[in-house]
Each structure stands twice: as C-alpha cells, then as structure tokens.
Amino acid sequence: MKQRIAVCLFVLLLVCLAGCAPSQESAPAPVSQAPVSEPASSEPAPYEPDFAAPQEPYWILGECAWGDGRILLYEERYPEEYNRKYSSTSDFYALRWQIFDDTGARIGEGDSGWSNSFALHDLPVTDLSAGDGLLEFWAEMPAEYSGSPLRRHFTLVVSDERLSILGDRAEDRRYQIEDWYPLTEEDGYRLETCSDYNWATNRSENRLLLTAPDGSERQTAFVCDDRDFWVELDRMMHPGQVTFEGEEPQHSALQIEMDFARDTVALSIPKLTVTVDFSTGETAFERHYTEAMLQTVMAESPDGRYTVYTAGEFSRFEAAGGSDYVVAGPDGAIRFLYAGSDLDQLAFLGSDRILANTFGSLICYDPAGEAEPQPFPFDYGEAKTTRGEAAPKYLTIGLAADSVNRRVLIAYRLNTFGDFGLEVDGEMLYEFPVHLAVYDFAGEKLADFDTGMTVAPFSLYTAVSVQIVPDGAGGAVLTSGIWKGNETARSVSVSYPI
C-alpha cells in the first residue's frame, strides 16, 4: 500500500513538471564578435560590420543615420608591410565607412583615402553627422600634432555625386579637412579661424567661425590683403612658436573685439582694423597709421604740402621686399595708397596727383588715397608666355616727373616673363634695350625712343630697375642697377622734348 502511494505521488510530480515546461525548445541568440560603437539613437537597427582584414586592429569612431539606415565610421590600421614601406617606426591608419539599411543588412562601404600616422581613435571625435552625400565630424587635435591645439573638421565624400567639391583631388581621395584655430572666448562665445584652399573653386579662403553658448554656429568668409595683419594672425594661431632654435617667441599684437549686438568681430593690429559682419558677410577696413610708423621718403609734392612714405617695410630672402605706401598731408592725416614692392617708384604730377609705377601698371592717386578710375595711358602691349598665357609685352622699369616742364618720363623694356633670357627674332637675348616714353601730365604722348642703354632683366633674384633724374631743362640721366657679373652701374644721358 505504501509503495502504491509513493508511485502515485511520483507520477503526479512528473505531470506537474511537464505542465510548467515550454511547448518548444528555444536556442540562444547568436552573439556577434564584431565590435560596434555605442548607438547614436535609442533603438538603432542591428548590424554586423564586415572587415576586409579583421586581423588588423580597428576602432569604431561613431555611427549615425544615413537615409533609412545607418552609416558606421571606423579607423583601421594598415598592414605591417604597408607601414614599414613608408616608415620604420610609425603605423598608418585608414579612415573608412560601412552603410546598413533599416534591416541591418550591409549595403555599401567606402575608403576616404586618408592615410595618417596620427591616430584619431585616441582623440575626442564629436558631431558626427551625415547628409547630402557627405559624412562630417570634428576631431580635437593636440598641440603636438601641429605645434598648436586646433579643431580639425573632416568632410568625407560618400556619394559620387558630391566628388566635385574635391576638384582635381577626387582622383585619389574622398576627403577634405579644415583646421580651425582658436582665437578667443568671451561670455561663452568661441571664435575660431581657418585658412584653407577650396579645391572646387581653386582659390584660398579665410573664414571665421563663431560658436554661441547654445552650440549654434555662424560662419563667414573674409578677405584681407595686408601682410602685417596675416603675420599677427598667424602668431595668434600659433602662440609661442619660434622660427629658429633659440629664438624668443613672438607674441601677437592682434586685438579682438566681439560685438554680439551688431553681430560683428573686429580684429585690430596697430595700423589696421578689420571688421567682419556675420549677418551680411561683409568685411570693412579702417587704417590708422601714426607718424612713428613712417619710414622712407619716396616723393614730395612741388608745393611741399604732401609727402609719400613707406610704412611697414619688410624684406624677403632671395626676393624683392615690400611695404605700404602712404601719403602724409598738411592736416596731419596719414592716408594709405597701396601695398607694393620695394622696387616700385612714385612721383608727383603737380601737387595733387601721385603716379605709382609697379613694373606692370601705372596708377594715379589723389592725396586722399583714392585711385583714378583709369590707369596712366602707357601702352604695355600684349604677348603670350611660353605657356600660352596672356601677359604685357613690356615692363615699365623706371619713372620720373619733370615738374618744371610738366613731363612724365617712363623707361621700359621687353617682358621676359620671369626668365633671364628671351628669344627675339630668332636670337636669344640676355640684355634688352631700354626705351624712354615721354608724356605730358595730361597723358599725351610726346616722344618714344631707344636710350642706347641695355639691361639684364634680373640681378640674382630681383628685377633690374632704372633710376631717372631729370635736370629740368629737357635732359635726364638714366642709371641702371648692379646685377650679377657686372660690378658697376650703367648710366646714359638723354634729351627729350619740352
């Protein structure tokens, strides 16, 4: 009896256990071994990246929406044989992507062509976004990368339709980078600058980026052709940087003032203020020279009221230097004419016009610094360079004004287009005749003749000019500079109609 009761209890236990079991067996879900980034949205579709060389280390930098699917950005180390081909010690990294549809299936991949020994996976990578065929993100670059801390903006061209933004470089790469240097921060606003080459338009661009406390950004291009401004801006972009070992770091004289009410930024150096308007994209300039900035006297008006000076003179190694040309008047104001080469020549035509010779142009200015709408009527002619480009046939290498007889004297020669020699009528020439053109102050041509002087086009690395000294009686002495192989200057006396 006891045995029957035990058997019944055992059978009842089995029935209860069977009722609690599932109707079908469930297999465990497979676990992907491929590394994935943290999801950028709350519930992204599952995907499994597929790497061509999974044995090489790779790092997922991030992922974001791409249409209805996702795009994943990753960095992969090149194989050892590639790295040792280009460096004995450094490793190089590729920047690539893979695209997945909304079901998680991989539908595309790409390689940016980026190859760099500075790994991005060790840096803060932020603001990954995609749109209009492009993938963009920012990387915080430390000072040891370029000598100064900066933010690098990457644009990867995913869609072939957008390759045009890369210009000719699209043949071997699908990326472009912009290096943004910090300038200043104020009240939570951050100002950065970038100087880059636009390959789509084939021109350099300078831009400012203003980031507000809420993260919104305003960006605008600006232009400035003042050399001193760029010297000081570069010093601010690279604080403490030295050119030569042992040199003291040069600190920037650039001052920055942000006006949030007017949406402007003013960047000032002692002689110039550049104001950039973010709302209109316009750039305004205000020059403020002082008497202490005046250097070499270039010309004086016959009545003594105006004097042309250089300001901000600078030299170059194996090339002509330059300066600003300014005019000081009786009211104490100093007005800017133009920035030019230290080979330029200036002369007063009377007391209210200043003629400037820049070898390739003759421009008249008034004492207020305004250029006349039409150049002085010297005929430079037309020619083609050896590359078939249009260029002036002649260069004006000397200028003087005879204020007594109101005559303009212009020395000129054939243009060699930067070469030391030029083939003329089947003969290779290395020295060229100097001609003198004579005009009255109104621009009427009175004479044009060969002076009998010849000059080489260059002395080492700068062009040879001619100095003209009129005697006020219809005569002048022309003197050329010294060039390699000739230790003495050449001179010739000429007469011209008065």
pLDDT in tens, 221-260: 999 999 999 999 999 998 877 666 666 777 899 999 999 9
Q: Which helix (H) or strand (E) holds 62?
A: strand 58-66
The position carrying tokens 């000397």 is 398
For 379, list phi and psi in degrees, rounded to 5.
-90, 105
pTM of the model: 0.78
Closest CA to 185 of 150, 165, 210: 210
Where are the strands (E) in 92-202, listed by range?
Answer: 93-100, 106-116, 125-131, 134-141, 150-157, 175-186, 189-198
More confident residue, 183 or 13: 183
Report, as an integer, the average pLDDT of 429-438: 97
Mean pLDDT, all residues of the chain: 87
Report, as an integer, the average pLDDT of 124-146: 92
- The pLDDT value given to residue 3: 42
- The pLDDT value given to residue 238: 87
Band of residue 192 on the pLDDT scale cut at 50, 70, 90 = very high
- The pLDDT value given to residue 29: 30
Average the pLDDT over each of 270-274, 448-452, 474-478, 481-485 and give the range with the smallest value: 481-485
Whole-angstrom CA distances from 342 to 224, 227, 323, 446, 459 are: 20, 14, 6, 29, 15
Whole-angstrom CA distances from 253 to 17, 99, 233, 268, 398 are: 86, 49, 8, 8, 37
- The pLDDT value given to residue 482: 56
- The pLDDT value given to residue 377: 98
- The pLDDT value given to residue 145: 78
pLDDT digits (tens, 9 = 90+) for 340-350: 999 999 999 99
Report, as an integer, the average pLDDT of 167-174: 81
Report, as an integer, the average pLDDT of 319-340: 96
Report, as an integer, the average pLDDT of 386-406: 95
> Quick check: 11 pLDDT over 50?
no
> Quick check: 14 pLDDT over 70?
no
Q: Which residues contact 100 (CB under 8 A, 6 or more apart)?
A: 45, 47, 66, 69, 70, 71, 72, 106, 107
Q: Residue ranges of the alpha helices (H) in 56-155?
A: 80-86, 143-146
> Quick check: 99 pLDDT over 50?
yes
- The pLDDT value given to residue 490: 87
